[in-house]
């Protein structure tokens, strides 16, 4: 199996995922492909976050955060629904992930000993990610205008 070609096919392909086109200019196939790629990568991220939140020891040997583990698991389910079906409701729910990440960094839930620069970096990445999720929601709404 040729992994670089497979990744390149879903990350950047002029025919399938032209990220430089506006959401309204994408064909139906291009929109579905972009939603699949985003759902796949978000599902990977949510899977890692779920395992980390559920398994890493927190204070007094308890899990780091059962609430964070449940939220990560729900994002995983939403990412699968978004990638498989392109549902606007799943896209809107998955759009809460960057907001949650920024809030977790600002409140110390993500890692209590983060420096100011680290927090700033996480918030900046979250803001960029949130900007991209607006595109994802627009694509999903365009594919399913009745929802």
Q: What is the DSSP string of 40-86?
A: HHHHHHHHHHHHHHHHSB-GGG-BS-HHHHHHHHHHHHHHHHHHHH-
Tokens at 89, concatenated: 């409701």
CB atoms near residue 5 (< 10 Å): 8
Q: How does residue 1 score in pLDDT terms, banded at 50, 70 and 90?
A: low
| pLDDT tens-digit map of 17-44 | 666 677 788 888 888 988 999 999 999 9
* 44 conformational bin, left if phi > 0, alpha if psi -120 to 50, beta if neither: alpha
pLDDT at residue 129 is higher than 70: yes
Kindly give, in sequence order, each residue whose CB lies less than 8 Å from that of residue 144, ignoring residues fewer than 6 positions away: 86, 87, 88
Quote the pTM value: 0.80
pLDDT tens column, 62-71? 445 778 888 9
pLDDT surpasses 80 at 59: no
Domain edges within the chain: 27-143
Task: Determine the pLDDT at residue 42.
Answer: 96
């Amino acid at each position: 199996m040729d992994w670089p070609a497979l990744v390149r096919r879903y990350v950047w392909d002029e025919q399938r995922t032209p990220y430089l086109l506006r959401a309204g200019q994408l064909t139906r196939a291009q929109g579905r492909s972009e939603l699949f790629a985003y759902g796949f990568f978000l599902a990977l991220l949510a899977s890692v976050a779920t395992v980390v939140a559920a398994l890493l020891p927190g204070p007094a040997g308890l899990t780091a955060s059962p609430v964070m583990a449940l939220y990560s698991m729900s994002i995983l389910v939403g990412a699968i629904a978004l990638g498989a079906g392109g549902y606007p409701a799943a896209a809107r729910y998955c759009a809460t992930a960057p907001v949650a990440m920024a809030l977790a960094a600002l409140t110390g839930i993500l890692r209590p000993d983060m420096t100011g620069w680290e927090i700033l970096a996480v918030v900046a990445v979250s803001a960029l990610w949130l900007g991209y999720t607006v595109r994802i929601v627009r694509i999903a709404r365009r594919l399913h205008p009745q929802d």
